[in-house]
């Protein structure tokens, strides 16, 4: 990110996860998740004719991952971006938070369901969409847990604007997909997990991807400290399973 974007990120105490990259996002080919990934890559690289992308899905499907990955990719392209996790920022003044964002190259609004219907937010978002439309240089990536029409906004014109562009409904991974996602994330950390180890983790842990990745991070930290391979006996000892 350039200096302007970095300064705002720090002042809001907003940080991007280092693990949130496009390469670390597993999406089965031709799935809606895969199509969303490709569309967001095109959005950041400025080859997409559509400046608005909306992704939605249940917790754990990776919407936040994709938005943060988009900001990392924007930084690599020397673009000015802003990631706003709205669940954390709902207490801020909507007008102050959104003011001037149309001057950036990429704006990522994560979790709009957390501010929808709150005083000032619907109108502030409505006006942001209008300002972004007038500045074709800026791209907008929005995430939520449901389609725009189901967010509960009392402002029909905002619902209409949130339907601009292209929308993708992200789907949960199958167990096989979760194993592939864990293997991909582990490989990025320099850890090679066998099928038996992956199946053991998936059997003992919840199916929530965020929790699975947290377990992987703990195993990585402990294995590095103790200089041990990640095996089933090691996992039982490290995690108390």
Q: What is the mean pLDDT of residues 185-192?
A: 89
Among all chains, which residue has been given the structure tokens 């597993």? Answer: 26
Q: Which residue segment(s) compose the domain that 220 sits in?
A: 175-239
76, 111 contact by CB (below 8 A): no
User: In terms of domains, do 100 and 184 share one?
Assistant: no
What pLDDT sits at residue 3?
39
Measure the CA angle with vertex 41, ends 55 and 190; round to 5°: 100
User: In terms of domains, do 157 and 199 share one?
Assistant: no
The residues with which 142 forms a beta bridge, in sequence order, are 54, 109
Domain final residue pick, 169, 194, 214: 169
User: In terms of domains, do 116 and 136 share one?
Assistant: yes
The tens digit of pLDDT for each residue in 94-147 reads 999 999 999 999 999 999 999 998 889 999 999 999 999 998 889 999 999 999
Domain final residue pick, 150, 169, 188: 169
SS3 140: strand
User: In terms of domains, do 183 and 164 share one?
Assistant: no
SS3 107: strand
User: In terms of domains, do 143 and 68 share one?
Assistant: yes
118, 90 contact by CB (below 8 A): yes
Residue 122 tokens read as 């619907």
User: In terms of domains, do 108 and 185 share one?
Assistant: no
Domain final residue pick, 127, 154, 169: 169
User: In terms of domains, do 192 and 131 share one?
Assistant: no
**What CATH number is associated with residue 131?**
3.40.50.300
What pLDDT sits at residue 207?
76
Q: How many domains does the chain have?
A: 2
User: In terms of domains, do 96 and 202 share one?
Assistant: no
Dist. CA 62–CA 65, nearest whole Å: 5
What pLDDT sits at residue 177?
87
HSE-CB for 79 with a 13 A CA cutoff:
22
The percentage of residues in the chain with a pLDDT greater than 70, rounded to a whole number, is: 95
The tens digit of pLDDT for each residue in 38-95 reads 999 999 997 778 899 999 999 889 999 999 999 999 999 999 999 999 999 998 999 9
């Amino acid at each position: 990110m350039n200096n302007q974007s970095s300064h705002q990120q720090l002042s809001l105490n907003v940080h991007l996860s280092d693990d949130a990259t496009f390469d670390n996002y597993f999406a089965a080919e031709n799935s809606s998740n895969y199509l969303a990934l490709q569309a967001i890559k095109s959005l950041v690289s400025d080859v997409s004719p559509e400046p608005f992308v909306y992704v939605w899905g249940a917790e754990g499907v990776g919407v936040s991952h994709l938005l943060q990955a988009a900001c990392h990719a924007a930084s690599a392209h020397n673009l000015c971006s802003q990631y706003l996790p709205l669940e954390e920022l709902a207490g801020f003044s909507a007008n102050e938070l959104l003011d001037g964002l149309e001057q950036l190259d990429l704006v990522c609004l994560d979790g709009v369901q957390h501010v929808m219907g709150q005083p000032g937010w619907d109108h502030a978002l409505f006006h942001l969409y209008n300002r972004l439309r007038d500045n074709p240089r800026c791209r907008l990536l929005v995430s939520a847990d449901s389609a725009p029409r189901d967010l509960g906004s009392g402002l029909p014109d905002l619902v209409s604007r949130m339907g601009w562009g292209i929308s993708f409904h992200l789907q949960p991974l199958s167990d096989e997909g979760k194993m592939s996602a864990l293997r991909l994330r582990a490989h990025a950390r320099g850890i090679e997990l066998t099928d038996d180890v992956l199946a053991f983790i998936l059997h003992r842990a919840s199916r929530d991807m965020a929790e699975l990745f947290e377990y992987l991070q703990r195993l990585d930290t402990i294995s590095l400290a103790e200089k041990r391979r990640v095996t089933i006996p090691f996992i039982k000892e490290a995690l108390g399973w």
